[in-house]
């Protein structure tokens, strides 16, 4: 029927297992973190994402909605909805920026700051538990390296450079991927 041949059954072991793929590893950690934090933060709107927004707001470094949305890799409209919920829960406030009244400064309320203190403890336990497979003396170095990679990955230039490295590769050219079903 089909001219495409039979699958290549591995005679022994030809390549890496699924679990050896970088994408598998990073995805597994990300999913576990999100799921655990989701439960740890209870009814905080936006779950792990809401926690990060609250953390930034409490440090007074959240900046404008747009800036915050970009840092978290979400659309600015999504940030609007998320902040609606966090504000309704009394955790954060939108402050008009006197310097540029188009901007809204995102800050934590007193209640938000207090709530965050508890959340930090709980989320901290989640993190600790995720990393407790590593020998204690490795955790510091691991975090340092993870942070360095994250910082690198966040840069616009990084994705752009990948495009130059891979022939016929262009991030901006979305290959007009069809929807999965519909």
Partner DNA sequence: TATTGTTATACTCTATAACTATA
Partner DNA sequence: TATAGTTATAGAGTATAACAATA
Minimum CB separation from its own copies for residue 53, in Å?
A: 9
Calpha distance 45→34 (Å, rounded) = 13
Among 62, 79, 83, 86, indicate the residue that binds its own copies (CB under 8 A). Answer: 62
- Long-range (24+ apart) CB contacts under 8 A made by 145-149 are none
18 within 8 A of 25, measured Cβ to Cβ:
no
Residue closer to DNA by CB (options 9, 100) is 100
Site for its own copies in 110-139 (CB under 8 A): 110-113, 120, 122-123, 125-127, 129-134, 138
Minimum CB separation from its own copies for residue 76, in Å?
A: 15
Mapping DSSP to helix (H, G, I), strand (E, B) and coil, where does residue 104 land?
strand
Q: Is 140 among the residues that bind its own copies (CB under 8 A)?
A: no
Among 99, 102, 137, 180, indicate the residue that binds its own copies (CB under 8 A). Answer: 180
Q: Is 69 among the residues that bind its own copies (CB under 8 A)?
A: no
Residue closer to DNA by CB (options 32, 134) is 32
β-strands 104-108, 92-96: how paired?
Answer: antiparallel
- Closest alpha carbon to 94 in 78, 105, 84: 105
């Amino acid at each position: 029927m089909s001219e495409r041949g039979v699958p290549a059954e591995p005679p022994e072991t030809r390549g890496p297992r699924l679990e050896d793929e970088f994408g598998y590893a990073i995805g597994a950690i990300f999913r576990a973190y999100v799921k655990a934090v989701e439960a740890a933060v209870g009814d905080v709107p936006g779950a792990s994402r809401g926690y990060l927004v609250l953390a930034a707001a409490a440090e007074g470094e959240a900046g404008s909605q747009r800036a915050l949305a970009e840092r978290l890799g979400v659309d600015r409209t999504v940030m609007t909805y998320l902040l609606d919920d966090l504000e309704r829960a009394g955790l954060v406030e939108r402050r008009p920026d006197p310097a540029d009244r188009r901007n809204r400064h995102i800050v934590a309320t007193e209640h938000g700051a207090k709530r965050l203190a508890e959340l930090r403890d709980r989320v901290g336990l989640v993190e600790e538990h995720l990393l407790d497979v590593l020998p204690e003396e490795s955790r510091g170095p691991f975090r340092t390296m993870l942070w360095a990679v994250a910082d690198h990955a966040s840069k616009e230039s990084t994705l752009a450079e990948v495009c130059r490295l891979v022939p016929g590769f262009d991030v901006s050219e979305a290959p007009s991927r069809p929807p999965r079903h519909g």
